[in-house]
Chain A
Amino acid sequence: MERKKITKGFWIKLVSIPILMFFFAFALVPIYEVLCEITGFNGTTGRVEAEQQYQVNEERLVTVSFFASTMPGFPVQFGPKVNSIEVVPGKFYTVSYVAKNNTDEIVFGQAIPSVAPTDAALHFKKLECFCFVRQAFKPHEEVEMALRFVIEPEMEERIKDVSLSYNFFKLDS
């Protein structure tokens, strides 16, 4: 019996697998983003464009705690004005964070939010946040930055405590 001859189609199929898998690695980036948005994985918070009316149960209370941290080498003091508040799911609240630039130069930064537990992140919606855009801190100036949010009543009843944390990263401009 003769040995098989290797066809061109075989090579094309074989070589296309690693090439496709290379691009698959890059495709994982948008897939991951969509997955985080759908599941709230990694504490990704949602956003609402306008104040909506929700079914409100005044009896139900959830404690929201606020945390702040900065990356090493970020020269701005940053923290929440109040450490925690009690909220009724379905109502909008405004809280603020305070930041003070201690240097003689203008500092640019970007805040990255994260909500825990993950199941709550899905229902934590922000109307307005200083984390939507990059911030410029003028030298020795203290600023108050606002945050307006709602916790959707669809959030599971068993969740009584939600924490929101921000981490400030330095930007070059």
Chain B
Amino acid sequence: MSTISAVAAHDDHHGPEKGLLRWVKTTNHKDIGTLYLWFAFSMLLLGGAFAMGIRAELLHPGLQLMDPQFFNQLTTMHGLIMVFGAIMPAFVGLANWLIPMMVGAPDMALPRLNNWSFWVLPFAGAILLSTFFMEGGAPAFGWTFYAPLSTTFAPDSTDFFIFAIHLLGFSSIMGAINIIATVLNMKAPEMRLMDMPLFVWTWLITSFLLIGAMPVLAGAVTMMLTDRNFGTAFFDATGGGDPVMFQHIFWFFGHPEVYIMILPAFGVISHILPTFARKPLFGYASMVYATASIAFLSYIVWAHHMFLTGMPVAGELYFMYATMLIAVPTGVKVFNWVATIWKGSMTFETPMLWALSFVILFTIGGFSGLMLGIVPADIQYHDTYFVVAHFHYVLVTGALWGIIAAVFYWLPKWTGKMYNETLGKVHFWWAMISVNVVFFPQHFLGLAGMPRRIPDYSLQFADFNYISSIGGFAFGLSFVLFAYIVVDCIRNGKPADSRPWYSAKGLEWTLSSPAPYHSFNTPPTRAEILEESQHS
């Protein structure tokens, strides 16, 4: 009798372990979400530091600070760290924190695998970064690592890069499997698929992109590895291989990858806009179907990155039209967001500011993407700064904006404290203005013909590069304020209500703030689920 009650008591009071080992051994989805988010933020600062180096060199024409080889290492590592170290782990962190709470599950389906998925990352990151200190330097062939630049002509450190990519991919695949299992099996029994909040839906679809695309990347780097070390000739023309095939395999992964980085942000925005417009989300079902269509289309448009490889006209036409087709479901989403805020009683708290600017700036990035998808125009734009401007508008003011919006929106739930609203607004306007100063002039540079990935440029590009660099330093500095706001919130924030945003919907807001270490041991009822539904 006493044993049974002791066990029961133990279950009731089971909380986090004391000390630092808590973070190493934890299998709690909230702890692991926190680990992912801090890891992603530190990688963001590091990748940002590389970007500062790039912008410093490009401040003036000529070579001032570094030799071109090191510049190329910086552009390569900036891309790799931001994609695989910052954006992807940040979204997995958000998924860990939010998905179990949103579907009324006690934890992720595979808590130990979850711990492993995270702890692979710091080691993979360390291996990738250690290449800077190796003979021949870090990889300098761009984040797309086209063969033969990455096979025949690459430094020896490339093998470490390959291993790091294997580990990062492994971590993402395990994370995705965990999310699919959690959503499909752990959601409250009374919750139907079409009751699920959009963040859960977009992440479920993203997970299928991850388990479909990341293994192809693993295959590509494995082929590189055997080409470099074991005498195969996948990408070597003399042995019957073909370097152009590398681009096909890479972009077969690479195009789904760009949607992996944006779909969860679509989900975040679909939570924030209804809350601050005080209206249900417009067109919930069409949002789900649009997300699924984007995911499907992302697998069949990859060669629009390769219009200059000498493709038959029929191929160019197919990939151009298929690319244009993606604008349809994406347009559905953007119009749904606009319809959601239309005639709403809007207020402009910090998360709403980020969400609204996401809709505007991401759409600009989407439009420049459509321009790049037009074959005859792409011949002019290919590998210029126009491309750089395009993918920074969709990745910085798209993916990263979604992450920052999510952090401000759910920070009260995570920490139980409210951040400083005034500082939040200052930070928003600082970042919002500076990010446009960095990237908008790059459209003009690209249209004027400035190639990407070069440390030096001709004089006619000097003015816009100067503006872009000054904006870059200001934008970089804004993240120091961001870090201060988050730390200030954790330390000094005023206690937050369980539902700090008036009219926010979702099961996570039914929990106390901060969210208890263990939540939803008993699943929510049908009535609770319908009450907290975003749409209805």
Contact = CB atoms under 8 A, between A and B. Distances in A.
Interface of A: 1-6, 10-11, 14-15, 17-26, 28-29, 32, 36, 39-43, 110, 112, 116, 118-119, 167, 169-171
Contacts of A169: 236-238
Contact of A10 (B181, B245, B311): B181
B516 interface: no
Contact of B249 (A4, A28, A36, A118): A28
B189 interface: yes
A10 B177 CA distance: 11
Interface stretch (B209-217, B450-458, B461-469): B209-217
A150 B138 CA distance: 48
* Nearest 7 CB-CB pairings of A with B: A25-B219, A21-B215, A22-B215, A1-B189, A169-B238, A110-B238, A25-B216
Contacts of A20: 215
A4 B310 CA distance: 52
Interface string B248-278: 1100100000000000000000000000000
Given A1-B189, A118-B312, A32 B248 contact: yes
Given A1-B523, A3-B523, A18 B238 contact: no
A167 B525 CA distance: 70
B315 interface: yes
Nearest to A26: B219
B470 interface: no
B189 A21 contact: no
Contacts of B220: 25
Contacts of A1: 189-190, 523
Contacts of A171: 238
Contacts of B188: 3
B248 to A, nearest CB: 6
Q: Is the interface of B mostly helix, strand, loop or mixed?
A: helix
B94 interface: no
Interface string B215-253: 111111011000000000010111000101100110010
A110 B238 CA distance: 6
B287 interface: no
Given A14-B177, A17-B211, A21-B215, A28 B185 contact: no
B405 interface: no
B521 to A, nearest CB: 11
A119 to B, nearest CB: 7
